[in-house]
Structure 1
Amino acid sequence: MKLNYSILFAAPIFLIMIMDTMFLEMMAPNNEAAQGSYLSILVKLSAMISMGYSLYNIKYMSPFLRVMFVLTLLYVVGMVFESLLKYNTPMIYPHVFQKIFFFFYIYFIYTFYKKNEYLNLQHVVWFILIGFLLNVVLIHPDSLSLSAFTNHERGVYATSIYMLVIPFLYFMSKYLFKGGLFTMIMAFFVLFLIIFFQHRTVWISTAFILSVYILLVNFKSKTKVNFKKLIPLFLVIGLLGIISSAFIFSIHPEIIEKFQESVSDIENYDKQGTGGWRYQQLTSYLPFVQDNFVWGMRFEGFELPIQFYRDDIDQPVFEGGNGHHFHSFYLDVLFYIGFVGLMLFWLVKFYGIGKVFKKKYLNQEQIVLMAFISSGFVFGLSYVLPYFFYAILGLTLAYLDSDDDEQKTFLQDFAKRRNERIASKRLQLKSSKLLVTSSQE
Structure 2
Amino acid sequence: MNIKTWIYRIALYALLFGVSALTYGGNALSPFLEKAVNGIALLGIPALVLFYFYQPGVYKVAAWALFLGVVLLVIESQYEYGKPVYSYFVIKRFAYCGLALSAYFVAARAGVLKIKYAVNIIFGLYVVNQLFLGQIFSYALTSETRTTSAPEAFYLVIPFLYYTVRYFTEKKIWDLFGSVAVFGFIVFLLHRSVMSSAAVAGLLVTGLAAIGKISDGSLNVRRTLGTVMVVTLASLPFLGIMGSIKADGFMEQIAGIFDPAEDNTGSWRLEQITHYMNQFNDRPLLGWRYEGYDRGEIMENEDFPEKGTIIHSQYVDMLYNYGVVGLAINLFIILGTLYVMYRRNPTFSTEQAVLFGFIASGLLFGISYQLPVFYWGFVGLGMFYGLHRQPDDVNPDDYDMVENEDDEHQDNPTVYTPQISI
TM interval, shorter chain, is 0.7 to 0.9
Give the partner amino acid of 2:282. Answer: D
1:392 maps to: 378
2:168 maps to: 176
Give the partner amino acid of 1:292. Answer: R
1:409 maps to: 408
CA distance in 2, matches of 1:118, 1:247: 40
2:25 maps to: 25
CA distance in 1, matches of 2:98, 2:231: 47
CA distance in 2, matches of 1:174, 1:327: 33
Q: Which moved more, 1:274-283 or 1:114-123?
A: 114-123
Q: Deviation per CA, 1:208-241, whole angstroms, max 9, x where unpaired?
A: 1012111222235263143326x43542452354
CA distance in 2, matches of 1:271, 1:130: 37
User: For the Cα contact (< 8 Å) 2:9–2:107, is it kept in 1?
Assistant: no
Among candidates 118, 130, 137, match of residue 124 of structure 1: 118
2:183 maps to: 191
Q: Which moved more, 1:191-200 or 1:217-226?
A: 217-226
Task: Compute the displacement of 1:168 (Å).
Answer: 1.4
Q: Which moved more, 1:190-199 or 1:279-288?
A: 279-288
CA distance in 1, matches of 2:74, 2:278: 26
2:396 maps to: none
Q: Deviation per CA, 1:383-408, whole angstroms, max 9, x where unpaired?
A: 00001111111111111111599995
CA distance in 2, matches of 1:11, 1:389: 17
5+ long unaligned stretches in structure 1: 310-314, 416-441
Q: CA RMSD in A?
A: 3.1
1:55 maps to: 49
Change beyond 3 A, Cα 1:247–1:269: closer
* TM-score, length of structure 1 as denominator length: 0.81
Are residues 1:260 and 2:251 paired?
A: yes
- Within 5 Å, which residues of 2 pair with 1:179-328? 179-180=171-172, 183-219=175-211, 221=213, 223-228=215-220, 231-239=222-230, 241-242=232-233, 244-246=235-237, 248-249=239-240, 252-309=243-300, 320-328=305-313
CA distance in 2, matches of 1:412, 1:356: 13
Change beyond 3 A, Cα 1:44–1:141: closer
Secondary structure of the 2:178 match is helix
Give the partner amino acid of 1:196. Answer: F
Give the partner amino acid of 2:148. Answer: V
User: For the Cα contact (< 8 Å) 1:6–1:118, is it kept in 2?
Assistant: no
Are residues 1:381 and 2:367 paired?
A: yes
1:436 maps to: none
Give the partner amino acid of 1:88. Answer: G
1:421 maps to: none
User: For the Cα contact (< 8 Å) 1:25–1:135, is it kept in 2?
Assistant: yes
For the pair shown, the structure with the greater C-alpha radius of gyration is 1
Give 4+ residue runs of structure 1 displaced > 6 Å after superposition.
5-8, 404-407
Change beyond 3 A, Cα 1:388–1:305: closer
2:326 maps to: 341
Task: Compute the displacement of 1:18 (Å).
Answer: 2.2
Change beyond 3 A, Cα 1:261–1:7: farther
Are residues 1:164 and 2:156 paired?
A: yes
Secondary structure of the 2:332 match is helix
Secondary structure of the 1:102 match is helix
User: For the Cα contact (< 8 Å) 2:62–2:333, is it kept in 1?
Assistant: yes
Secondary structure of the 1:375 match is helix
CA distance in 1, matches of 2:110, 2:359: 21
Change beyond 3 A, Cα 1:234–1:11: farther
2:95 maps to: 101
2:36 maps to: 42
1:89 maps to: 83
Task: Compute the displacement of 1:204 (Å).
Answer: 0.8
* TM-score, length of structure 2 as denominator length: 0.84
Are residues 1:12 and 2:6 paired?
A: no
Task: Compute the displacement of 1:39 (Å).
Answer: 2.6
Are residues 1:354 and 2:352 paired?
A: no
Change beyond 3 A, Cα 1:247–1:136: closer
Percentage identity across aligned positions?
Answer: 22
5+ long unaligned stretches in structure 2: 391-403, 415-422
CA distance in 2, matches of 1:80, 1:118: 37
- Of Structure 1 and Structure 2, the greater helix share is in 1
User: For the Cα contact (< 8 Å) 1:168–1:190, is it kept in 2?
Assistant: yes
Change beyond 3 A, Cα 1:355–1:240: closer
CA distance in 1, matches of 2:317, 2:45: 22
CA distance in 2, matches of 1:291, 1:307: 15
- Within 5 Å, which residues of 2 pair with 1:424-435? none
2:417 maps to: none
Aligned length: 398
CA distance in 2, matches of 1:166, 1:414: 29
Secondary structure of the 1:409 match is coil
Give the partner amino acid of 1:270. Answer: A
